Amino acid sequence: MRNVDAERVRALPLFSGVSDELFRDVTGGCFLQKFPAGTTLLMEGDPVDFLYVLLDGSVELGASWNDKETTLAVLQPVSTFILAAVVLEADALMSAQTIERSDILMLSGEALRRAMKEDAQFGFAVAQELSGCYRGLVRSIKNQRLRGGLERLANYLITQRVKQGGGETFTLPHEKRLLASLLGMTPENLSRAFSTIADYGVVVNGPQVTIARPVVLERLAKPDPLIDNHRPHGLGPVGEAQRERGLGDHSPQAGL
Amino acid sequence: MRNVDAERVRALPLFSGVSDELFRDVTGGCFLQKFPAGTTLLMEGDPVDFLYVLLDGSVELGASWNDKETTLAVLQPVSTFILAAVVLEADALMSAQTIERSDILMLSGEALRRAMKEDAQFGFAVAQELSGCYRGLVRSIKNQRLRGGLERLANYLITQRVKQGGGETFTLPHEKRLLASLLGMTPENLSRAFSTIADYGVVVNGPQVTIARPVVLERLAKPDPLIDNHRPHGLGPVGEAQRERGLGDHSPQAGL
DNA sequence: CGGACGCCTTGACTTACATCAATCGCCACC
DNA sequence: GGTGGCGATTGATGTAAGTCAAGGCGTCCG
């Protein structure tokens, strides 16, 4: 692992309170791998032996059943994933695959569990991270069950605007097909939702989105701090836990 | 707190590995309260100062937005709830209210966090519990997004059958209106789903349900261990973590 | 004994969303 | 300079689910 990468991992909230020695223990037998776009890292039901840390690129977490698929989250660096499965030594409940070329660090699950049992501070940090992920999922379910497709899109756009600095115009971070899956709808429906939402002052030009009248859009979206989590996206690594505590950002579709 | 109750709490997986001393510390300043049916214990957005432990009765965890409501989980004894909010000292993302007369133990959140930072074993147990809850929610989202209402009902019935011993006939544990909300549909729609599902050998008589031809029903339900978690319900207290590891039961709608 | 209430059910209707199919635009590649 | 492929869009249509309204059937209570 390069030194730069080590520092980025070290700076994760997960490792903030731990000693250098423990950090070395945990990151001892780790791999740093580069994967091309579209690589499946993990399939549903696979046993999980490593904690994954996304250092560069992006990763989709998804699930499927009966020939249907859905996207549960799209991760941006720096994020850890499948922490819960590692803690329980359980099989993965979702699949993970790279969206673009990605650098991924793989930490030994066994070393991680050992460290948790030895260092209460670290165990607490893990519990905080898990709590943040948990709350992200609660937000996601509320978003899914209580809002319609149009409202989900409107809130997503508002979240993105804030996350990207709050300017009038911003860029969609993913392909629309992926965004549709993340929002729990079909690409066709997302397209229609975009054209409907034009009436609320949203102008779409490819991946460029301009929110002309935020007030009007908010009247449609009715954003709620108990579902959405608007914060300017972290300078510096921000864990799920911190975001949940109001020190960083969290969207309903992130988490884990 | 009565001795019987103390033992039941002590037997929770959360406290399985901890010393008597630490257990006394955590349960030191705790209350045992009895609430009548329909009492709101917590509203969305409330600050959370206690970890709740349901000892008797049942509790609904719900959420609302824009005049819509939904049920996220119905808890049975012995379960803890709002652990994630306690760990993060954050506001509640869901509301909690008693369904029937319930005995609820309230443990100091502050004492709990202190204990986690002192005792790595306990911290680990908390992390395991959180992981189990997290995975329960992942199952719940998959259930919600990938299946239709009829399929959700079918799988719910199969889960209940197993949970209640696997006999031909079992009893619905809740009112149908509540069940509908838990399954993410309206009471009217649930009623229709029940009549549709009669074609698959399900006979409903008030709260009594008989599954005449399980094989036929399973062909409709297509249960999946990565969504559903069929296990005979615990003799003895079984935490989320253990259930996730295959030592107990877990349905998609349970989980903190 | 009636009556009121709550829960469940049923039917007609509306709305939201998925599906199927065709087309367009864009970019890469030959 | 095609041309093939992929994503996005658009329209037509089907299906699932929510809504509104009415009625049945218990239980509790005056």
Report residue A243's pLDDT band, with 50, 70 and 90 as the boundaries.
Answer: low
pLDDT in tens, B2-41: 788 899 999 999 998 899 999 999 998 899 999 999 999 9
Helix (H, G, I), strand (E, B) or coil at B223: coil
What is the rounded average pLDDT for all residues in chain B?
92
pTM for the full model?
Answer: 0.93
- Which nucleotide does the CA of B68 lie closest to, via C1'? D18
Q: What is the pLDDT of residues A79-128, one digit of tens each?
A: 999 999 999 999 999 999 999 999 999 999 999 999 999 999 999 999 99
Q: For residue A68, which residues of chain B lie inside 8 Å, CB to CB?
A: 146
Convert the pLDDT of each residue in B144-156 to its tens digit: 999 999 999 999 9
Rg (CA), chain B: 19
- Residues A9-42: tens digit of each pLDDT: 999 999 988 999 999 999 988 999 999 999 999 9
**Span A196-207, average pLDDT:** 97
CATH top-level class of B147-232: mainly alpha
Farthest CA pair distance, chain B: 58
**What does the pLDDT read at residue A230?**
80
Backbone torsions φ then ψ of B111, nearest 5 degrees: -60, -40
State the Cα angle at A254 between B79 and B109, rounded to 5°.
35
Q: Is B3-142 assigned to CATH 2.60.120.10?
A: yes
Which nucleotides of strand D lie under 7 Å from a protein CB? 7-12, 16-21
Structure tokens at B19: 């010393």
Question: Reduced to 3 DSSP states, what percent helix, strand and coil does chain B have, rounded to the nearest 5?
Answer: 45, 20, 35
The span from the CA of A198 to the CA of A202, in Å, is 5
A134, A184, A245 member nearest B130 (Cβ): A134
Please, where in chain A does CATH 1.10.10.10 lie? 147-232
Note the CA–C1' distance, A49 to D13, in angstroms. Answer: 48
Q: Which residues of B touch A87 (CB under 8 A)?
A: 127-128, 131
**CATH 2.60.120.10: which residues of chain A?**
3-142
User: Is residue A255 over pLDDT 50?
Assistant: no
Coil vs helix vs strand at A97: strand
* Cβ A74 vs Cβ A178: under 8 Å: yes
**Model confidence at B230, in pLDDT bands (50, 70, 90)?**
confident
Protein side of the strand D interface (CB < 7 A):
A 175-177, 187-188, 190-192, 194-195, 204; B 148-150, 184-186, 188-189
Between A and B, how many CB-CB pairs are < 8 A? 181
